[in-house]
Amino acid sequence: MSIRRIVISFLAVIAMSGATLFGAVAGGAAVYAAAYSRLNAAPAGSSPQAIVAEPAASGGSTLNVDINSAVEDAAAKVGPAVVTVINDLGGGQRASGSGVFISADGYLVTNNHVVEGNQSLQVIYQDGATVDARLIGTDPYADIAVLKVAGQIPAYAAFGNSDVLRQGETVLAIGSPLGDFRNTVTVGVVSATGRALDTAANFQMTDLIQTDAAINHGNSGGPLVNLAGQIVGINTLVLRSSGTSSDQAEGLGFAIASNTVQATAQQLIEKGFVSHPYLGISWDSVTPDIAQRYRLGADWGVYVTTVSDDSPAAAAGLRKGDIITAVDDIHIDETHAFINTLWAHAAGESVTLTVVRDQQTLTLTATLAERPRS
């Protein structure tokens, strides 16, 4: 190669590098200018919001505010639907908890243990107004109670699908800790799902959501809320270290999954009691993310982890490792949770289960029993 060609090539490389550098600087300046403009547009006295660059559908990037606004929006959406529940035990004794309206006609859910032993019940709205409440029904096994008030209510909240909650997802707990701090909002994450705890009545509560959002006495019965402003759980208990324990337990709160709450509340509203159908399995939820991770044969359903002896599931031929994808003609998916679908049936009914086993689809028939009381 001649000296003349080498010089020309060298100059071309320098020109290309300069163009690339200029483009990078110009692009960075544009992002800085947009961020600077947004920060300066914030109201006086407000804190600057973090700027997050996300891929745009057409390429490039778009700027969005961080998670803070989503937390505020969810709290504002659900907060007016949350109440303080006052339990008059008689003899001058009172207890309190929290609750949340779930329908425009005045039905609200709380914990069974919040209303136990009541002589009368009242609820206090966010604005301080106090009204009488009537007990519709309770389910001590799910620790759910439904109350009803007359007249117009401030607001009500919608249920979300607890089966699609992900570990680390941001959630809010709203309630009245200690009975005095009405409509307090605390923020945390979903620490885990599918937890099981034994209760004092020798009943195991299953499919609980563990969260580190601060929960205290008085929060019981209040909602656990996702960033879409949906109820994903009803706060029920918190674990703390005992006086004799050397372990310090903090941030161990538990909520009843919204799919369980919704199915239970529907039966209490319709019948005043809950007749739990019993299949006799333990399971883990299957979602598309889990199915892809573990290369399962179905995107939605429940993975059978245990089958109880002498249960309807055993009689039907269900096995550990099976994936139930449908009950009758209802397919388990984002909007049709397994527990809701199963509890739409009564003890004594026969249901057709669509099952994936070893990449093959089977159809099994199970006759549901009454859930054991002990």
Q: Are strands 230-238 and 158-159 parallel, antiparallel or unpaired?
A: parallel
Nearest to 323 by CA among 353, 349, 350: 353
Give me the active site residues, please. 113, 143, 220
- Cα 247 to Cα 200, 205, 259, distances in angstroms: 22, 23, 33
The kind and range of the H/E element at 294 are helix 288-294
User: Is pLDDT at 119 greater than 90 in this prediction?
Assistant: yes
Question: Where residue 22 falls among pLDDT bands split at 50, 70, 90?
Answer: very low
Residues with Cβ < 8 Å from 308, sequence gap 6 or more? 280, 281, 314
The whole-number pLDDT of residue 303 equals 96
The span from the CA of 144 to the CA of 233, in Å, is 11
Q: Are 330 and 235 in contact (CB under 8 A)?
A: no
Nearest to 203 by CA among 113, 298, 293: 113
Residue 262 neighbours by CB distance under 10 Å: 23
Question: Where residue 2 falls among pLDDT bands split at 50, 70, 90?
Answer: very low
The span from the CA of 323 to the CA of 309, in Å, is 19
Tokens 């929960």, located at residue? 215
The span from the CA of 252 to the CA of 197, in Å, is 12
Question: Where residue 33 falls among pLDDT bands split at 50, 70, 90?
Answer: very low
Structure tokens at 189: 């994450």
Q: For 318-344, how does the pLDDT look when each residue is reduced to its tens digit (9 = 90+)?
A: 999 999 999 999 999 987 888 888 988
The span from the CA of 98 to the CA of 183, in Å, is 9
The whole-number pLDDT of residue 340 equals 80
Kindly report the CATH number that applies to the domain delimited by 67-274: 2.40.10.120
Which range is most confident: 6-10, 35-39, 70-74? Answer: 70-74
Percent of the chain at pLDDT > 90 equals 63
Question: Where residue 243 falls among pLDDT bands split at 50, 70, 90?
Answer: low
Question: Where residue 241 falls among pLDDT bands split at 50, 70, 90?
Answer: low
The span from the CA of 152 to the CA of 137, in Å, is 21
The whole-number pLDDT of residue 227 equals 95
Q: For 196-235, how does the pLDDT look when each residue is reduced to its tens digit (9 = 90+)?
A: 887 655 566 888 999 999 998 889 999 999 999 999 999 9
Tokens 């009245």, located at residue? 176
3-state secondary structure 315-353: HHCCCCCCEEEEECCEECECCECHHHHHCCCCCCCEEEE
Q: Domain locations in the chain?
A: 3-66, 67-274, 277-370
Q: Note the Cα 89 to chain centre separation in Å.
A: 32
Q: Are 157 and 172 in contact (CB under 8 A)?
A: no
Residues with Cβ < 8 Å from 320, sequence gap 6 or more? 304, 305, 306, 307
Structure tokens at 195: 């937890």
The span from the CA of 164 to the CA of 150, in Å, is 34
Q: For 43-91, how does the pLDDT look when each residue is reduced to its tens digit (9 = 90+)?
A: 333 333 332 323 333 333 333 445 668 999 999 999 999 999 999 999 9
CATH architecture of 277-370: Roll (2.30)
Over residues 28-36, mean pLDDT: 37
Over residues 101-126, mean pLDDT: 96
Q: Are 147 and 136 in contact (CB under 8 A)?
A: yes
How big, in percent rounded to 5, are the helix, strand and coil portions of the chain?
25, 40, 35
Beta bridge partners, 55, equal 61
The whole-number pLDDT of residue 14 equals 40
The span from the CA of 360 to the CA of 302, in Å, is 15
Q: Measured between alpha carbons, how far apart are the two ends of the chain, in Å?
A: 91
Nearest to 331 by CA among 264, 281, 276, 286: 286
What is the torsional sign of CA 147, 151, 155, 157? positive
Q: String of b and e for 167-199 (b: at least 16 CB within 10 Å)?
A: eebbbbbbbbbebeebbbbbbbbbbebbbeeee
Over residues 100-120, mean pLDDT: 97
DSSP label of 79: G
CA angle in degrees (0–180, nearest 5) for 304-309-312: 70
DSSP 21-87: HHHHHHHHHHHHHHHHHHHHTSPTTPPPPPEEEEE-TTSSEEEEE-THHHHHHHHHHHGGGEEEEEE
3 state DSSP class of 8: helix
